[in-house]
Structure 1
């Protein structure tokens, strides 16, 4: 995923640069065209003692329309591209990473119970992955829940008060769409429930209740760790789907802007050329 994201980001940067260049070129050429038509209008008025040439005047109107449509098409395309990449896809990347990390962490939790020789290793791996999701400086498995509760309460009081790092922070820093914040918050709250389940599993194991710990960890009955893990993944998928839908909509809107506006701009340019020719024809005939 990271390699695909880097490739996409490189392509995005290149395309944005190209669009910016095209926009500058369109503005410059548009201004030059309008200046040329203005000079032509002035020359015809001075040379043939007429105030305005109707054909050239109409051509100027078409040229203005063509420039405006071209600028609008390029600007809209750039904005929809930015929305697709930054508003939507950046969140999809963070949430997809979170999903992959979550499954790895869940596997480490199960291995903790099943592989006594590497128990400490799996406990540390679970903590490390938890930190990737919702990072708390200096937290251990013993202090993580309290830190999560405290920082999440601070965020609830002030959405700009984010005292944690990780993939969930990346998503909460990029809230853009209607319903996205509520879905993201529901995901973190489901994650907190799953984290508390992990501590319960370890506590049962420490008390010598291995059967109960395994049953609670690996069962799918309501109220068990896996059931809560499933609820967490469902919530995660819902916020991911919000961003995926908007990504698709932004791509569609960008293509629509090109399809709807550029033909109009091209038609206006052709009309400007034709009207200029029509406006000049009577004046050229006077030289015969």
Structure 2
């Protein structure tokens, strides 16, 4: 039997080819690992930008717009109700009215710029700008007629009330619904970005784990082959490359999780809470306006009492058949917009909200002149105490929102700065580890 020996040249080409193949496979899997990490970071970063810097702030701005517009209309009703002996307070209300008008104009201009790629939102903003111009003309006519009448505190003449009815109908039937629809439209963008991020992050984790394990397997396989073939226990460069790859895998997963958690917390504890509380505050301001409209407009007195009840149920839902029934059944286990508030904050909020409702109940039992004095004094103080607590909660959740977004941005910046550098260094170390062995076959 004849044994044919493998030529040395062919054997050398086989060994060098295997080293090249294993090294190339290791470099390929390192590249795939880096691509998986960066793709996951890019997806989460896009959602962070949408929720934290683009659509999210726009939604919160539109929610604030609803309150500012409600306050404008409430201030008009208040100036008409006070009468000439409240001249300084009327002037203060008109100054506040002008401030709200300026804030609304700035908000609408900012929204228009943010909606440059959305024709539907642009048209809604344009419609609001045009509608507010019509509202101001109607409100100015009501104030002019009121000034000409020179009435004392109480209900103004019927022609003043009729002029105000045209203005308030425009505000509540057309402008406020449009402002709320704008909030819903931009809120949809935030929800979609959040849902897309959750799906993308889940896939990114799987991709990072799979490619990371493959990269580690290839590096260990290359190290094992070189150690066995060249009689070396280990190659220092490949050991360091393996450590860098393992570190990159763990760090990539940790940073992706930090981004995802930051986004989740910003959405749940920041954005959602601020949006809910801001809407509650806007509706509460409208409720306060309904009280002045109730005193102002004898033709729609029952209507304003009913709308006050509907808004109260939206704020704190309680099973009831009438406003007095609602106010008597109001307990701390309410639901509604404020139902998500928990702990000590819920107790504080319930105390001041109940005080506001009790003051309203007292006002509705009084005669016109006494009711107006009570509304201008104790009832307004009760509302301001309630509004102050709402404002404090909103600011706290806004701070949480910004903190979580900043945390996500920080994790993203760390990932983009260090992970590519670490993986690139690992790739270079692979080359450093195999090139000396390949030179032996030249």
TM over 0.5: same fold?
Answer: yes
Q: Could you say which TM-score interval applies, normalised by the shorter chain? A: 0.7 to 0.9
Select between 3-12 and 78-87 the one with higher mean Cα deviation: 3-12
Q: Say whether residues 1:11 and 2:193 are aligned partners.
A: yes
Q: Say whether residues 1:80 and 2:267 are aligned partners.
A: no
RMSD between superposed Cα atoms in Å: 1.6
Q: How does 1:217-236 map to 2 (within 5 A)?
A: 217=375, 219=376, 221=377, 224-236=378-390
Select between 124-133 and 113-122 the one with higher mean Cα deviation: 113-122
Alignment gaps of 5+ in structure 2: 1-182
Q: Say whether residues 1:188 and 2:350 are aligned partners.
A: yes
Deviations 1:45-93 (A, max 9, x none): 2222322222211110010111111111111000000010011111101
User: What TM-score comes out, normalization by structure 2 length?
Assistant: 0.57
2:338 match: 168
Q: Say whether residues 1:59 and 2:231 are aligned partners.
A: no
Distance across 2 between alignment mates of 1:190 and 1:4: 32
1:42 match: 224
Q: Say whether residues 1:120 and 2:302 are aligned partners.
A: yes
Q: Decide whether aligned partners of structure 1 residues 187 and 3 sit closer, same or farther in structure 2, where only a CA change above 3 A counts.
A: farther
Alignment gaps of 5+ in structure 1: 153-161, 173-180
Deviation, 1:131, is: 0.2
Q: Contact 1:73–1:262 at 8 Å: present in 2 too?
A: no
Q: Say whether residues 1:197 and 2:359 are aligned partners.
A: yes
Q: Partner of 1:87: helix, strand, or coil?
A: helix
Q: Decide whether aligned partners of structure 1 residues 51 and 139 sit closer, same or farther in structure 2, where only a CA change above 3 A counts.
A: farther
Q: Contact 1:94–1:171 at 8 Å: present in 2 too?
A: no
Q: Contact 1:70–1:265 at 8 Å: present in 2 too?
A: yes
Distance across 2 between alignment mates of 1:261 and 1:117: 65
Q: Say whether residues 1:263 and 2:417 are aligned partners.
A: yes
Q: Say whether residues 1:147 and 2:341 are aligned partners.
A: no
2:374 match: 216
Q: Contact 1:168–1:188 at 8 Å: present in 2 too?
A: no
Q: Partner of 1:203: helix, strand, or coil?
A: coil
Distance across 1 between alignment mates of 2:276 and 2:287: 16
Structure number with greater Rg is 2
Distance across 2 between alignment mates of 1:6 and 1:147: 35
Distance across 2 between alignment mates of 1:37 and 1:134: 62
Deviation, 1:184, is: 4.2
Q: Contact 1:67–1:265 at 8 Å: present in 2 too?
A: no
Distance across 1 between alignment mates of 2:383 and 2:187: 27
User: What TM-score comes out, normalization by structure 1 length?
Assistant: 0.85
Distance across 1 between alignment mates of 2:298 and 2:282: 25
Deviation, 1:139, is: 4.7
Q: Say whether residues 1:29 and 2:29 are aligned partners.
A: no
More helix per residue: 2
Q: Contact 1:77–1:255 at 8 Å: present in 2 too?
A: yes
Q: Partner of 1:245: helix, strand, or coil?
A: helix
**How many equivalent pairs are there?**
260
